[in-house]
Structure 1
Amino acid sequence: MTHANGRLLKIFIGESEMYKHEALYHAIIKKLKENGMAGATTIRGVEGFGAHNIKHKKAIDVLSGDLPILIEVIDSPEKIDEIIDIVKPMVKEGLMAIINGVEIVKK
């Protein structure tokens, strides 16, 4: 197994946010892939709140159109730094967080 130093980028957005007529989370994933990122995962939240203190919650009988979305990307520090400059203008209402010192383990 090989080990490498990495960085984790977390992008927090709302499910209803749009970018050029498509879901923002989908546009971000496409941009990550186009720019050769190692991989990314989109996670749909069950409940949460953001900068506007609006609580988003999925109820069994009510389908919410604006649940929290988390996109996680792990890659080299250099690649994460590059992609932040590309993705940052796309994220108007959300938040991006970086976690340094992630150990990447590959088989």
Structure 2
Amino acid sequence: MTRLAGRALRLTVLVGESDTWHHRPLYSEIVHRAHAAGLAGASVFRGIEGFGGSSLVHTARLLSLSEDLPVAVLIVDTEDRIRAFLPQLDELVTEGLVILDDCEVVRYTGRDGSGAVERE
């Protein structure tokens, strides 16, 4: 498991749920590339409402059947590793928003092969 503590960089990629890369959801492609790059972890969060550069509001409300809700992919790792990953995003994200934030990792734990949480 990757060790991560202290200063880090949070990468947030905001795209649409219907955005694709070679017939695959774009958010999924970003997560799989982050995994292949050995980054510490990635999570995808589906938004319930939002708008971006197009100024078109997308919502999950019942009366509005949006098929392109906002999706946020969050990745946290060291600054060097995140910045090394950015060229891949240049290739993938043609519409959306990419944000970098300084952050501090207070706790980063995973599970061992048995499903039990690793303890230090």
In the TM superposition, 1:15-94 aligns within 5 A as 15-94=17-96
Q: Comparing both structures, which one devotes a greater share of its residues to strand?
A: 1
In structure 2, the CA distance between the partners of 1:54 and 1:82, relative to structure 1 (3 Å rule), is same
Provide the aligned length of Structure 1 versus Structure 2.
105
Question: Which fold has the larger relative contact order, with Cα–Cα distance below 8 Å and residues 6 or more apart in sequence?
Answer: 1
TM-score, length-scaled by structure 2:
0.81
Kindly report structure 1 stretches of 4+ aligned residues shifted beyond 6 Å: none
- Structure 1 stretches lacking a partner, 5+ long: none
Q: RMSD across aligned C-alpha pairs, in angstroms?
A: 1.5
- Structure 2 stretches lacking a partner, 5+ long: 108-119
Question: Which of the pair has more CA radius of gyration?
Answer: 2
Percent pairwise identity? 30
Structure 2: distance between partners of 1:94 and 1:73:
16
TM-score, length-scaled by structure 1:
0.91
